[in-house]
Chains A and B, each alone.
Chain A
């Protein structure tokens, strides 16, 4: 199965390389270039797929991961390390499978908080950024408080929020939103202001209204910055959710992954602790990948970062 997939990929890679070099030749527009292009394409086909740069680059991180996991497993087995100190990868996976209903239920709870906070932070961040660029006075009077919000550790204010806000989910979402909000505000505000001055003049000469300039010029110009903020905030909203759950969990309530980590710690069920940790990490990576993908779609073709 894996062999098939890899063979398919390498075949694709070969064709891709051939297509790319022939396009390059076409772009040069030089007739003699056609011959070396075909020869380089055949040499690419003859080359073993494992040695191709694209394949190697894609495989390298997986190889590192497999090697580290194998070494970890071997160390645990050979040295007979007890599972309550360092569980082996296989023990973590079997724990994950065994306690799947419990752990994935917690994952859903954490994911709900994370996504709600991420959405809220994005919405609020954009609205606040739009407000900031309306007038220097608004920005001057509000920006210090945005910084204040950013520099206050959420662990320090989470207990307060959890006491003040009756609904636990709402309290957790609020904490996570506070963590994720600032990058969206600062990046979007920066983007809305980073507009080509020539284009500003063009809009002025054509008597564009404030609204037209915002929608047709400032917002598209801000997109690359906004997406940058989005990528940072996706991770921060997960961190915020987990931290808030920790604070709530220490108080004896909670359903999320942080709560499972706390409980597992109390019970010295270290494999479960690792399994919960693994789920948090994977969630973070997936969130990042999704925002990176959205950013690539949004900027495709025109922004330097996506070419």
Chain B
């Protein structure tokens, strides 16, 4: 707990701000305890932590799928109802590709536009651009099952980007993919973020992925789910495979790894002696 930085969110400017948020489930599980966080426009922030630390729950709250038990959340300083208006668009990418198996890739990507009643002609152009942006220009007419896992995830990413979101939420999107595909997609995502300048919140349990992608890593710990550290990553803006083996990269990974191990050891010791933190 000592490592927690006290953070006073600047509510007027932040894309996302969370104040003293708790989440308790009816069965008594405390998923999140006293979470305070602010994410500024254009930031790439990773939520890093072991399973059960509440990082996915926190992301779902950002998406409006879960609501906090206590505390306040603001989107661009406003309540959730304002999300979706121009300048405040939000998209989410899930752990699985979650494509509709009966619809073509292009139809899947067009779904958010259809739901928002975007005219067909404009939608078609935007879908083509989104597919092109993730390297799936030739696969619009394919069915999801005809694509590999990595390509399905790309389609899912294209669907999130087609609305030109100002805030992109990703919930361990590449966790089920092999390491090579994941690295490739990480690089592509980083390039997309640089090109578009949107705010990105990325949930992962991979230290390497978090350091490679983000400008800031928020470290979380389980039982109860809470933020234990907020670490800026001062890597270069342009990141490539060389960065993955560079000294600063490895140094960041080491710092984060030690933070997580220490926190784990501390909570384990507390459990052993019965002391509540």
Contact = CB atoms under 8 A, between A and B. Distances in A.
Interface of A: 196, 198-199, 201-208, 212, 216-217, 220, 223, 301-303
Interface string B99-117: 0111100000001101110
B65 interface: yes
B196 interface: no
B100 A205 contact: no
22 contacts: A196-B98, A198-B95, A199-B98, A201-B63, A202-B92, A202-B98, A202-B111, A205-B63, A205-B64, A205-B92, A206-B111, A206-B112, A207-B84, A207-B115, A208-B115, A212-B115, A216-B115, A217-B100, A220-B103, A302-B143, A303-B101, A303-B102
Contacts of A212: 115
B148 to A, nearest CB: 13
Contact of B111 (A196, A216, A301): A216
A198 B101 contact: no
Given A203-B115, A206-B116, 5 more contacts: A198-B98, A199-B98, A202-B92, A207-B115, A302-B143
A302 B102 contact: yes
Contacts of A198: 94-96, 98
A302 B145 CA distance: 7
Which 7 A-B pairs have CB atoms at the shortest separation, nearest pair first? A198-B98, A302-B101, A302-B102, A206-B115, A206-B112, A208-B115, A220-B102
A11 to B, nearest CB: 30
Nearest to A220: B102
A257 B50 CA distance: 69
A216 B114 contact: yes
Nearest to B112: A206
Interface residues of B, number: 24
B90 interface: yes
Contacts, number: 51
Interface of B: 63-65, 84, 90-92, 94-96, 98, 100-103, 111-112, 114-116, 143-145, 163
Nearest to B65: A201
The dominant DSSP class at the B interface is loop
A21 to B, nearest CB: 20
A202 B94 contact: yes
Contacts of A220: 100, 102-103
From B63, B92, B115, B116, name the one whose CB has the most chain A CB atoms within 10 angstroms: B115
A28 to B, nearest CB: 15
Contacts of A302: 101-102, 143-145
A1 B101 CA distance: 44
A157 B145 CA distance: 48
A204 B80 CA distance: 13
Contacts of B84: 207
Contacts of B103: 220
Nearest to B101: A302
Contacts of B98: 196, 198-199, 201-202
A207 B143 CA distance: 25
B7 to A, nearest CB: 26
Contacts of B94: 198, 201-202
From A198, A202, A217, name the one whose CB has the most chain B CB atoms within 10 angstroms: A202
A60 B104 CA distance: 39
Contacts of B163: 206
A168 B84 CA distance: 59
Contacts of B90: 205
A188 B116 CA distance: 28
Contacts of A204: 64-65
